[in-house]
């Protein structure tokens, strides 16, 4: 039976040669043992509310909320954010527009296909992944209104405005939220509030990655996104109500992250881990797929200016047990690497900056 399924054609993910299910089967050690909707009650990442802390004058418990956020990032590298101040319409609108895009016929989506040299644009299945093809359609764009419009024009022609406007509005709202989170993390670690944000004046290096996972006949052997950590600084992830995000705990067990309405999942990327000398952790995660439902997730990867120097402040290197782990590097040089290489497993991209013992 399983073998029969493996011969089925996969129309929804075949942008070039016709692929069948077996092309998407992962190496056995990667097969997920828990389903997309397995959530262990009481074993989930923390939830943090920004209520009262979004306007100019923070409320009384501001210090405490900042510390809770830092603790979540030290322990889990992940938290859910509610009462985040991004308007529901902005979020709902971007979800509708993105689902409509992915529902288009393949020919039309391919008008905005990514080029072989840069991973920006639409892609249905990326043969560069070799054996382990992700069960996903992916759209990657830089946080640049011009680029969003250029992509949308290729796909929708003159009718591009609803898509372009929704994306630009969403990105601007997330940028603002990202700066708030950075301020709170800096505050919670006893650094000047603008320690991170002053490096983010140039916005256009930030990238958005949209994943849409079609229903999968063999979810026990396939993955939407394999285990990885995010290379950037901070990720603001929007997921719909289907479920599929799983995080690797320090005891090497996977847990499912239960979707919460009107929330974002926030996680630390490799660059912020290096910037804080490992205090904030960049944690491995993956997305599993399911038999019945499409799932949409939108990852917003915040990136500093090209010239930003990623250098851990002395305040975070306090003792002889916590020596400096990375040499300083500029975001620009690291980013160049990221744009040219295919997705790496683990934190190998940053290893070049590790100070060897
Ligand atoms: O789909 C998800 O929940 C996770 C996506 C993700 O981790 C990524 O795109 O980096
Ligand atoms: Fe990720």
* 285 Cα nearest atom in ligand 1: 7
Q: Is 239 in the pocket of ligand 1 (CB under 6 A)?
A: yes
Q: Is 281 in the pocket of ligand 1 (CB under 6 A)?
A: no
Residue 16: its pLDDT value, please? Answer: 81
218: pLDDT strictly greater than 60:
yes
Span from the CA of 317 to the centroid of ligand 1 (angstroms): 31
295: pLDDT strictly greater than 70:
yes
300: pLDDT strictly greater than 80:
yes
pLDDT band at 347 (very low <50, low <70, confident <90, very high): low
> Which has more confidence, 211 or 116?
211
Tens digit of each residue's pLDDT (9 = 90 or more) over 314-331: 988 876 677 899 999 999
Find the mean pLDDT for residues 72-83.
Answer: 97
Percent of residues, the chain, with pLDDT higher than 70: 93
Tens digit of each residue's pLDDT (9 = 90 or more) over 128-172: 666 789 999 999 998 889 999 999 999 999 999 999 999 999 999
CA distances from 7 to 4, 27, 133, 222, 250 (A): 5, 17, 16, 14, 37
The residue behind tokens 């359609």 is 137
For 19-23, 157-161, 200-204, 299-303, which range has the lowest pLDDT when averaged over its residues? 200-204
Pairing of strands 329-330, 78-82: unpaired
Catalytic residues: 295
For the CA of 243, the nearest ligand? 1
Max mean pLDDT among 18-22, 119-123, 139-143, 298-302 falls in 298-302
Residue 243, by phi and psi: left (phi above 0), alpha (psi -120 to 50) or beta?
Answer: left
Q: Is 282 in the pocket of ligand 1 (CB under 6 A)?
A: no
Span from the CA of 222 to the centroid of ligand 2 (angstroms): 17
Q: In the CATH hierarchy, which top-level class contains the domain 6-351?
A: mainly beta
11: pLDDT strictly greater than 70:
yes
For 98-102, 105-109, 204-208, 251-255, which range has the lowest pLDDT when averaged over its residues? 204-208
Span from the CA of 269 to the centroid of ligand 2 (angstroms): 9
Q: Is the dihedral of CA 49, 45, 283, 170 positive or negative?
A: negative
Q: Is 211 in the pocket of ligand 1 (CB under 6 A)?
A: yes
Q: Among 39, 211, 271, which is best to mutate for testing ligand 1, by the most ligand atoms less than 8 A from CB?
A: 211
pLDDT band at 294 (very low <50, low <70, confident <90, very high): very high
* 297 Cα nearest atom in ligand 1: 1
Residue 40: its pLDDT value, please? Answer: 84
Span from the CA of 236 to the centroid of ligand 1 (angstroms): 10
Radius of gyration of the chain (CA): 20
The SS3 assignment for 249 reads coil
Name the closest-CA residue to atom 9, ligand 1: 299
Find the mean pLDDT for residues 1-29.
Answer: 87
The SS3 assignment for 172 reads helix
Residue 202: its pLDDT value, please? Answer: 81
Domain residue extents for the chain: 6-351
Contact 99, 212 (CB under 8 A): yes
- Residues 314, 276: Cα–Cα separation, whole Å: 10
Going by C-alpha positions, the residue among 344, 258, 233, 255 that lies closest to residue 76 is: 255
Find the mean pLDDT for residues 255-264.
Answer: 97
Going by C-alpha positions, the residue among 212, 226, 207, 208 that lies closest to residue 137 is: 212
Q: Is 209 in the pocket of ligand 1 (CB under 6 A)?
A: yes
Per-chain mean pLDDT for the chain: 91
268 CB contacts (<8 Å, ≥6 apart)?
73, 77, 78, 233, 234, 235, 280, 281, 282, 283
Quickly count: other Cβ atoms within 10 Å of residue 290's Cβ: 18
The SS3 assignment for 170 reads helix
Q: Is 299 in the pocket of ligand 1 (CB under 6 A)?
A: yes
pLDDT band at 42 (very low <50, low <70, confident <90, very high): confident
130 CB contacts (<8 Å, ≥6 apart)?
none
């Amino acid at each position: 039976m399983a073998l029969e399924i493996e011969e089925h054609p996969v129309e929804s993910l075949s942008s070039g040669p016709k692929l069948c299910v077996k092309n998407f089967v992962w190496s056995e050690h990667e097969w997920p043992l828990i389903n997309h909707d397995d959530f262990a009650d009481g074993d989930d990442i923390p939830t943090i509310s920004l209520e009262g802390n979004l306007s100019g004058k923070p409320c009384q418990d501001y210090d405490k909320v900042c510390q809770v956020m830092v603790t979540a990032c030290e322990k889990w590298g992940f938290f859910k954010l509610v009462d985040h101040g991004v308007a529901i319409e902005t979020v709902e609108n971007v979800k509708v527009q993105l689902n409509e895009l992915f529902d288009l016929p393949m020919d039309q989506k391919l008008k905005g296909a990514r080029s072989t040299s840069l991973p920006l644009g639409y892609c249905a299945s990326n043969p560069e992944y070799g054996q382990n093809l992700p069960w996903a359609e992916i759209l990657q764009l830089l946080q640049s209104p011009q680029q969003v419009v250029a992509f949308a024009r290729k796909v929708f022609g003159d009718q591009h405005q609803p898509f372009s406007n929704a994306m630009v509005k969403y990105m601007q709202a997330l940028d603002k939220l990202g700066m708030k989170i950075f301020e709170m993390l800096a505050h919670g670690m006893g650094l000047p509030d603008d320690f991170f944000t002053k490096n983010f004046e140039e916005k256009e290096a930030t990238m958005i990655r949209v994943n849409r996972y079609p229903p999968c006949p063999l979810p026990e052997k396939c993955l939407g996104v394999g285990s990885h950590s995010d290379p950037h600084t901070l990720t603001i992830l929007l997921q719909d109500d289907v479920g599929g995000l799983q995080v690797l705990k320090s005891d090497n067990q996977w847990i499912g992250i239960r979707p919460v309405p009107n929330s974002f999942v926030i996680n630390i990327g490799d660059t912020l881990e290096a910037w804080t000398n490992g205090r904030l952790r960049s944690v491995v995660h993956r997305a599993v797929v399911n038999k019945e439902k499409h799932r949409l997730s939108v990852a917003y990867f915040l990136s500093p200016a090209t010239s930003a120097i990623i250098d851990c402040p002395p305040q975070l290197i306090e003792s002889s047990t916590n020596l400096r782990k990375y040499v300083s590097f500029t975001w620009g040089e690291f980013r160049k690497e990221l744009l040219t290489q295919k997705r790496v497993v683990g934190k190998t991209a940053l290893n070049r900056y590790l100070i060897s013992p």
